[in-house]
Structure formats: structure tokens, C-alpha cells
Structure 1
Amino acid sequence: MINLSLSFPKLTSRQFAWDSAVLFLAVFWLGGSLILDLVVMPMLYTAGMMTSPGFASAGYGLFEVFNHVEMLLSGLILTGVLAMRQAHADCSVEVSGSRSRWALLLAISLVAIALTYTYVLTPYMGALGIALDMPGMIHIIPNTMGWMHGAYWLLEVTKMLVLGALLRLCYIDIAAQFTAKN
């Protein structure tokens, strides 16, 4: 009889490299946000998205998917930061008490931003947009929509700054590991 079982070595928390995983996730999220904000949305706007029928449901669908991806990424980043806190001897991000608290605060704020997008801004903006999308109505954009766009951009800039700070913390950690080996 042939034994077909495979044995895998146990990975330690350092072998998984949580700091590298958090760095990758933050770069992926930052890149996706920049593409959405600086490429996709301006293209849709110049193509006449606001004047076409059904723009509200299309915009809601786009942001609903992206917001759920953001929630997943923020949860994974928070998991990575908590794992680095657990294995603090191996991660210099977590050796310093103040850097550890900053990394945790940044990760929690990313979760809060993603939850705000998903459960506050997108549903309300979608509801206002659907009201504007009714046939036979005069399309006057309410002041609330302008306020919500302002809140969105404020959160978006905050998210980019938080991701940048988290990238800096993780990059310093990874760079220190490479200089220590040489």
C-alpha cells in the first residue's frame, strides 16, 4: 500500500512574515483606491454617468463591491497587526510600545473607515441618488449629497494618510531585517 500523506512543517509566526503581509495588503489597498479615485471615477463622470438613467444603481453597485473588499482588507490588516503584537520579539514594529500602539490605532481606524463607507455613506448616497433617478422629476442635487461627497473625500484622504503611515511602519521593520542580515 502506498502512503499518500504529505507532511508540512509547522510555520512559526516569523516564517509567515506578518509585517510583509500587512505591507502587501496596504499597498494593494492604496493602489486600488488610487485607481478607483483617479482613473475610474473621473472616466465615468466625463462619460456622462451623472446624466444617464440608472447612474445611482450602477454607482451603488460599484461602491458596494469595493467597500466590501475594503472591509476584508482592513480586517486582514488588523489581524496582521494583532499577530505582530503577539510575536513582538520578531517584529520591530511591535517592540516599541509607542510604535505598537500607533500600528494598532492605524489598523483600527482603517476598519472604522471601511465600516463607515459600507454602512453609512454608500447607502445614504445611493438612496439620494435613486431619488434623483426617478423618471419625470426635476434633477436638483440636494445639499446633503454635496456634504456626503465632502465626507467621502475627507475619509478617503484620511485613509490614504493612514495607509501611508502603516506602510512606513512596516517598511522600516522589513528594511531593518535586511540590514541586520547583511
Structure 2
Amino acid sequence: MAMISRVTVRKPAWQTVVMLTLLFWLSASLIVDTVVMPVLYTSGMMAESGFAIAGHSLFWVFNRVELVCAALVLTGILNLRYTLGNGTRPTHQAVFLASLLLVVALAFTYGLAPQMSGLGLQLNLFNPVSEPPALMNSLHAGYWLLETLKLLAGIVLLKECWNSLNLNLLGIGD
């Protein structure tokens, strides 16, 4: 009555995980940047006194999701770097880009978002602020610079994962 069971450990499809994470992350960033924020701006919500709190709440959640995505992408790239054959594994450039994505997510979460939220708070109810502080414009410029860097790095990394996945499906480089 001895039963032999065979357990096969199948390594996860890290390329697919990395690609789906990048697609989710980049598309969510584009939706926030091209739909959510312009709608809030045109509806006049940015002129309201409570916008800084609402914006902080929105970006607090979104930045944490970005951190999880960046960590997952970097983990996947590092896993692929050390488990795949020479012909299909990610290059040093891919590891650098994945690390850069994590640094950008950290900068958004712990650098820009708290600074922007702090500048947007209205602390004196008797003296309403009609214009945002001058520092806010430079923080917005930094945000857009990092956002552009994130999108470019993500697209290059996505392309490299796609090419590597196609090579694996063809059986080249194992």
C-alpha cells in the first residue's frame, strides 16, 4: 500500500508576472495622470480648501500600490537574471531599470507626495490662499520628470521582457 507521489516544483512564470505588473502599473499611472487629475483640476476641486487632504489620501494609497509593483518587478527581474539561461535572461540594463523604478516609487512616496501635501494645506482659515506656493511649481516639475522617467523605463523593461518571453517560447537560449 505504498503510494508514491510525485511532486513537481514548477518555477513561477516571472516574465509574465513582471509584464502584467508593469502593464497594470503603467496603465494605472496613465489613468491617474491623464484622467483623474485633469478631471479634478477642471471641476475646481483643486481650489477647495480640503483638496490637499483628499489628494494626500488618493496618492497615499496609489503610491503604496506603486511600491508593491516596483518591488514585484525588481524581484521578478532579479529572479529571472539568476535562473534563466544566458540567451534569455535580463541584462544589467534591465536590473538597473527595475532598480530605477523602485527609486522613483520611493521618491514619490516619501519625497514628493508629503512635500506637496504639506504645501497644499491651508493652516490659516482667516487668510485664504488664492495661489499655490512657488515651490509647488518646482515640485510639479519634479513629479512630471520622474513620471516621464518611470514611463520610459517601464516601457523599455516591458519590451525587454516581451523579447525574452518570445525567445523562451521559441526554445532559444535555454
State the TM-score, normalizing by the size of structure 1: 0.85
Tell me the residue number matched to 1:73: 69
**Change in CA separation of 1:180 and 1:59 when aligned onto 2, cut-off 3 Å:** same
1:21-170 map, 5 Å: 21-89=17-85, 92-94=88-90, 100-131=91-122, 134-139=124-129, 140-170=131-161
Given that 1:23 and 1:170 are in contact with CA atoms closer than 8 Å, whether structure 2 keeps it comes out as yes
Q: Whole-Å Cα distance in 1 between the matches of residues 88 and 157 of structure 2?
A: 13
Q: Whole-Å Cα distance in 1 between the matches of residues 21 and 6 of structure 2?
A: 26
Query: SS at 1:92's partner residue?
Result: coil
Query: SS at 2:89's partner residue?
Result: helix
Does residue 170 of structure 2 align to residue 172 of structure 1?
A: no
Matched length: 167
Which stretch of the first structure deviates more once superposed, 169-178 or 57-66? 169-178
Structure 1 residue 8: Cα displacement = 8.4
Query: SS at 1:135's partner residue?
Result: coil
Partner amino acid, structure 2, of 1:44: L
Which stretch of the first structure deviates more once superposed, 45-54 or 30-39? 45-54
Given that 2:49 and 2:121 are in contact with CA atoms closer than 8 Å, whether structure 1 keeps it comes out as no
What CA RMSD, in Å, does the superposition of the two structures yield over aligned residues? 1.9
Q: Which has the higher helix share?
A: 1
Structure 1 residue 89: Cα displacement = 1.4
Q: Whole-Å Cα distance in 1 between the matches of residues 20 and 6 of structure 2?
A: 25
Identity across the alignment (%): 39
Given that 1:93 and 1:169 are in contact with CA atoms closer than 8 Å, whether structure 2 keeps it comes out as no
Tell me the residue number matched to 1:12: 10
Partner amino acid, structure 1, of 2:10: T
Gaps of 5+ in 2: none
Q: Whole-Å Cα distance in 1 between the matches of residues 124 and 6 of structure 2?
A: 59
Q: Whole-Å Cα distance in 2 between the matches of residues 91 and 120 of structure 1?
A: 38
